[in-house]
Amino acid sequence: MTKPVAIILANDFEDIELTSPKEAIEEAGYKTVIIGHEAGEELVGKHGTKAKVGVGIGSAEPSEYSGLLIPGGFSPDHLRGDVDGRYGTFAKSFMKDNKPIFAICHGPQVLIDTDDLNGRTLTAVLNVRKDLSNAGAHVKDESVVVDGNLVTSRTPDDLDDFNHAIVELLNKEYK
């Protein structure tokens, strides 16, 4: 059985950027687990969607997950504010092990903290593209960009393409 897809999340996430990919992943037959600051914590999206943290970041082991989803909104900024840099370290393990990573909107910001974007090609919402470029990434303005194990997308308007690319990569890797 395939290990679940980890979703790193904090308050103020963009609701549909969590719910739509999560649903697509689960409908394709994969499980998901929300990872946040503390297990049991209830997180609230920008538009009121609630999500419960299943595993606290302090006990999350990247080896227990088959992929990583990073929704956008203001959540990535909160994740990057973790004083110990645990979310960047968590994501770096997926980069190092070439496991699927899916990031949309502001989500790719977390990948800056992996120090592994040099030469990678990705996309994101307009106002973080310069930061990604400064981290060494080649940034495109496309609905979805797939670079090996890395799938990125711009905004909720691109969710159909993003979800399709997520499921396609998971199926390629695990079915």
Give the three-class secondary structure for 42: strand
Whether the Cβ atoms of residue 120 and residue 152 lie closer than 8 Å to each other: no
Catalytic residue status for 47: no
In the DSSP assignment, the letter for residue 155 is S
| CA dist., res. 124 & res. 153, Å (int) | 6
Catalytic residue status for 164: no
What is the token pair recorded at 64?
């227990």
| CA dist., res. 26 & res. 161, Å (int) | 16
- The residues, ordered by sequence, that sit 6+ positions from 70 with a Cβ below 8 Å of its Cβ are 7, 8, 76, 79, 91, 101, 102, 103, 104, 107, 108, 110, 111
From the candidates 37, 47, 78, 105, give the one annotated as an active-site residue.
105
From the candidates 47, 78, 106, 138, give the one annotated as an active-site residue.
106
List, by residue number, the catalytic residues.
Answer: 105-106
